């Protein structure tokens, strides 16, 4: 048959070798770096609030969820297997972020009320993501440790009063942004290192 590609459907992209894909990916390493820096800046803003406006915090948390959602969707476009997992969590994060931004006061109160459940879901996601990245990232165990710690935090937070939960939510938002930023900065330099390989 003429016009048919000999590239396997589940393998590499049609007409693109692994070397070409690695080169293309390595050219965009600075995007990971910029995302990491933005996460770190968001963390510093959140962690410096003394008498923070609930509206401002709700909007910042919403932006953090939306950015994380877009990062998950970008990962879904790049990986070969389990794309649906990345895409599903990307959509869930974006929806959560939009809810936070459109109704920040009620959302903040709701988030503080169900903080233990939120931590549980994030802990499960970080643990799953660590095992998914195990084959490609030598630092996958960091994701596993943070996922397990988040699960412990979920059960601890469930027994707190609302005011303590609200404060914990502020601290968590800052720590989450900081962890995401540092992870993205490390990932940027890992992707940049692909230039030397190709």
Higher per-residue confidence, 13 vs 93: 93
pLDDT (tens digit per residue) in 131-142: 988 888 888 888
Q: Using 50, 70 and 90 to split pLDDT, how confident is the model at 175? A: confident
Q: For residues 177 and 85, which has the higher predicted lDDT (pLDDT)?
A: 85
Q: Is the dihedral of CA 52, 58, 63, 65 positive or negative?
A: positive
For residues 110, 49, 155, 182, the Cα torsion angle rounded to the nearest 10 degrees is 120
Mean pLDDT of the chain: 79
Query: Mean pLDDT across the stretch 79-106?
Result: 88
- Predicted confidence (pLDDT) at residue 51 exceeds the cutoff of 80: no
Q: Which residues contact 102 (CB under 8 A, 6 or more apart)?
A: none
pLDDT reported for residue 127: 92
pTM above 0.85, yes or no: no
Would you say residue 91 has pLDDT above 90?
yes
Distance CA 82, CA 62 (A): 26
Is the model's pLDDT at 93 over the cut of 90? yes
Mean pLDDT on 97-106:
85
Q: Residue for token digits 């972020």? A: 97
Q: What is the mean pLDDT of residues 37-65?
A: 74
């Amino acid at each position: 048959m003429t016009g048919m590609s000999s590239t396997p459907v589940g393998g590499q992209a049609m007409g693109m070798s692994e070397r070409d894909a690695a080169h293309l990916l390595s050219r965009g390493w600075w995007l990971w770096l910029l995302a990491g820096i933005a996460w770190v800046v968001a963390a510093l803003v959140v962690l410096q609030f003394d008498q923070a406006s609930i509206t401002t915090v709700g909007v910042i948390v919403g932006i953090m969820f939306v950015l994380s959602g877009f990062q998950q969707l970008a990962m879904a476009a790049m990986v070969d297997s389990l794309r649906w997992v990345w895409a599903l969590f990307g959509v869930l994060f974006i929806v959560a972020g939009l809810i936070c931004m459109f109704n920040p006061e009620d959302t903040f109160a709701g988030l503080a009320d169900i903080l233990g459940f939120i931590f549980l879901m994030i802990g499960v996601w970080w643990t799953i993501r660590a095992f998914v990245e195990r084959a490609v990232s030598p630092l996958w165990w960091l994701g596993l440790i943070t996922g397990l710690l988040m699960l412990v935090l979920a059960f601890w937070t469930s027994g707190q009063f609302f005011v303590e939960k609200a404060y914990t939510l502020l601290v968590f938002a800052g720590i989450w942004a900081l962890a995401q930023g540092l992870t993205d900065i490390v990932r940027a330099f890992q992707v940049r290192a692909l230039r030397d390989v190709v």
